[in-house]
Structure 1
Amino acid sequence: MPGLYLEEFIVGQVIKHPLRKTVTESDNMLFSVMTLNTQPLHIDFEAAAQSEWGKPLVNSLFTLGLMIGISVNDTTVGTIVANLGMTETVFPHPVFHGDTISVETEIKSVRESKSKDDRGIVEMEHRAFNQNGVLVARCLRQTMVKKKGA
């Protein structure tokens, strides 16, 4: 499924992504170890059991990556030039092993590039929810995408 070109993004459009993922213990452990994040809340079940949560938390950077990853098939596959930034990233509720994450994306702004006529900049707000509809992550993402025919 191809991504959208600049002209196909509509400000205010909300895309409810059909892909979902249930986060596993293996996802969390592998990501934390691969990124050398030794935070006991992610990788030490005994330490996490003593926390206010009583169990391990999923690494928030995994959650961010998953949220954006779920969105790409419907937004930027094959049309992105580059990610320009991610701002206002928040994690209002933790993700735990076994949570199923779904994502929606709202198009916040669209503009042509000021320096290159074959592309433009799209700002999207990604929102991730657990299986109970609780918001677990949100961020504004600025992307450079191709125009049609570029």
Structure 2
Amino acid sequence: MAAIKTNPGNFFEDFHIGQEIQHAVPRTVTEGDAALYIGLTGSRFALSSADSFAQNVGLPGATIDDMLAFHMVFGRTVADISLNAVANLGYAAGRFGVPIYPGDSLTARSTVIGLKENSNHETGIVYVHSVGLNQADEVVLDYVRWVMVRKRDRLAPSPEALVPQLPEKVAMADLEVPLDLDLSGYDTVLAGSPYLWEDYAVGEKIDHVDGMTLEESDHMIATRLYQNNAKVHFNQHTEGQGRFGRRLIYGGHIISLARALSFNGLANAFRVAAINGGRHVNPSFAGDTIYAWSEVLEKGELPDRRDVGALRLRTIATKDLACGDHPGPDSTGKYPENVVLDLDYTVLMKRRG
């Protein structure tokens, strides 16, 4: 028999603590990718939409949308980490580094930092620390995620459980601001909102009002754009027999939609600086309509910058339920079935000072 050269992906029992993985397939990000991302999400943040706007604040041109950058790095990791995933579960300690511009080439590497088999002995949770780098080996993204992965053999012995201790948030002092950023030329009219850092208060809740209905083509194009080949998103022969009987919408696409919808109320949040934590709490499918609202958890000043402030936000995304009632978990931590995402992240925003 000829040797098998295809890659079936890693199963839970293939991982071990401390395992280091250099992910294949570098990805050069182009203006075409940026335009397609806008077509998929409707994102309207000015810094990633126009060279002229970016140049007026000291940057060489429009940056690649931070969430597109996240997905491009994430996509490098899928073949090794989550090809056989049941679901991607959550994120922590995510820190965005240098901005990405069209023409930059991205690579990624990951380290396994935690493992825990589930009680059904059919799946387990894998925790990985992943780092995305540009062609100059500068860090563009550094984050932890955990994912539920199938076992190849439910009788295979399991490693001793290790669940890593993860920080609640990325410290404000550790947020990265582009060195050449100069907001003296920032135009709030072109950005789409008069509200700046000083206009937001801790505890304030913002209903982003708009909704977006998911189409099957949306997440199929998105996962292929990011080269995310996890079977749960694109293979109906596999998932048609699975738990839900149909393909799951990639959870990252829900993050992108929530961020895009947040423009209505947070238009001057020009950069995502950190993902402090996040959970995909219920699945989404084609035909669902996604809404979002945000709560300001914390405001922070940045060292040596009087023109930029940080807002730590909690954004909840729902399906088929407008967010006027601001649904969240109950006293036991259980979410209503209409809630699909609970994301804690930090954005940068212009200050009047």
TM bucket normalised to smaller: over 0.9
Higher relative contact order (CA 8 A, sep 6+): 1
Q: Match of 1:47?
A: 53
Whether the 8 Å CA contact 1:21–1:102 is kept in 2: the answer is: yes
Q: Match of 2:76?
A: 70
> How many Å separate the matches in 1 of 2:57 and 2:20?
37
Whether the 8 Å CA contact 1:128–1:138 is kept in 2: the answer is: yes
Runs (4 or more) in structure 1 with deviation over 4 Å come to: none
**1:60 partnered with 2:66:** yes
Q: In structure 2, give the amino acid aligned to 1:37.
A: S
SS in 1 for 2:53: helix
Of stretches 3-12 and 28-37 in structure 1, the one that deviates more from structure 2 is 28-37
> How many Å separate the matches in 2 of 1:135 and 1:33?
27
Q: Match of 1:2?
A: 8
Runs of at least 5 residues in structure 1 that lack an aligned partner in the other structure: none
> How many Å separate the matches in 2 of 1:66 and 1:2?
22
State which of 11, 16, 35 in structure 1 corresponds to 2:17.
11
Whether the 8 Å CA contact 1:2–1:74 is kept in 2: the answer is: no
Report how far residue 73 of structure 1 moved: 1.4
With normalisation by structure 2, the TM-score equals 0.41
**Per-residue CA distance 1:17-66 (angstroms, 9 max, x = gap):** 12101000111122134212111111112111112213111111111111
Q: In structure 2, give the amino acid aligned to 1:67.
A: V
> How many Å separate the matches in 2 of 1:22 and 1:54?
18
**1:26 partnered with 2:32:** yes
Q: Match of 1:147?
A: 151
Structure with max Cα Rg: 2
Q: How large is the RMSD of aligned CA atoms in angstroms?
A: 1.2
**Per-residue CA distance 1:81-113 (angstroms, 9 max, x = gap):** 110112222111111110000000111111111
Q: Match of 1:135?
A: 139
Q: Match of 1:102?
A: 107
Q: In structure 2, give the amino acid aligned to 1:92.
A: G
Q: In structure 2, give the amino acid aligned to 1:104.
A: R
Q: In structure 1, give the amino acid aligned to 2:143.
A: C
Whether the 8 Å CA contact 1:3–1:72 is kept in 2: the answer is: no
Of stretches 31-40 and 19-28 in structure 1, the one that deviates more from structure 2 is 31-40
